[in-house]
Structure 1
Amino acid sequence: MNAYGLPDGVTLGMVAAVLIPAGIVTVLLRALPFSLMRFLKGSPFIDFLAVLMPVGVMTVLVVYTVVGHSGDPGRFWASLAALGLTLLVHAWKRRADLSIFLGTASYMVLVNLAV
């Protein structure tokens, strides 16, 4: 084992040869949609996605979290309690940023301190 903690036969140059192109491709793929926005602006499909995507993404995340912890009762109830708090805060304030932040924070506190 060498000084960088890499397995035998793996050099720092080999790691860089993989990570640098992967990083460049990742950045380019994330920037590509923003560079195409001028061509897509005003598209009915993009307007449709702008309305439904946030709700769809949040629904998938909630289902994944709750179902993913269904085998662990403590985490399951923590996720349901955080979900309830998120819904209450959102119904009260109508601010997605605040409700998501408080729901996530309460979930993390419940999972790490109470469970």
Structure 2
Amino acid sequence: MSSGLPAGVDLTNTLLILGGVGLVTLLLRALPFAAMRYFRESALVAWLGIAMPAGVMTVLVMYTLVNSTENPGGIGAALIAVVATAALHLWRRSATMSILFGTVIYMLLVNLVF
């Protein structure tokens, strides 16, 4: 019976390898949820929940602005998107809406305008 595998590749070994990889992937994805009950009351985790979003956004904005001279649209598209994102966030106070809007504006400017 032909399994469609290249010559010299055994179906049993392939299935065992894929099963092992799948099991490890499942365990790694479940681990944070299983460990969460131990960290739920942690002051460090609470602080990270407050500080991380602003820190991550700062790093992303700086990365975009520093590397924008090499990208299509240049610094102009990046600055317009940052100003639009900040303005929407000051108006609506919604991080999700601001990030999505800023990303859409940047992508439109880079791909359609500049």
TM-score, with normalisation over the residues of structure 2?
A: 0.74
Q: CA, structure 1 residues 64+31, in 2 after alignment: closer, same or farther (shift >3 Å)? A: farther
For the residues of structure 1 that align with 2:96 and 2:42, how far apart are their CA atoms? 27
Residues 41-80 of structure 1: per-residue CA shift (max 9 Å, x gap): 1101101101001111111111111111134573321011
Summarize the Cα distance change of 1:24–1:75 in structure 2 as closer, same or farther, 3 Å threshold: farther
Note closer, same or farther for the CA distance 1:24–1:56 as it changes in structure 2 (3 Å cut).
farther
Aligned to 2:68: 69
The structure with the larger Rg is 2
Q: Which amino acid aligns with 1:102?
A: F
1:83 aligns with 2:82: yes
Secondary structure of the corresponding residue to residue 66 of structure 2:
helix
CA separation of 1:39 and 1:93: change in aligned 2, threshold 3 A? same
The residue that corresponds to 2:109 in the other structure is 110
| Identity of matched residues, % | 46
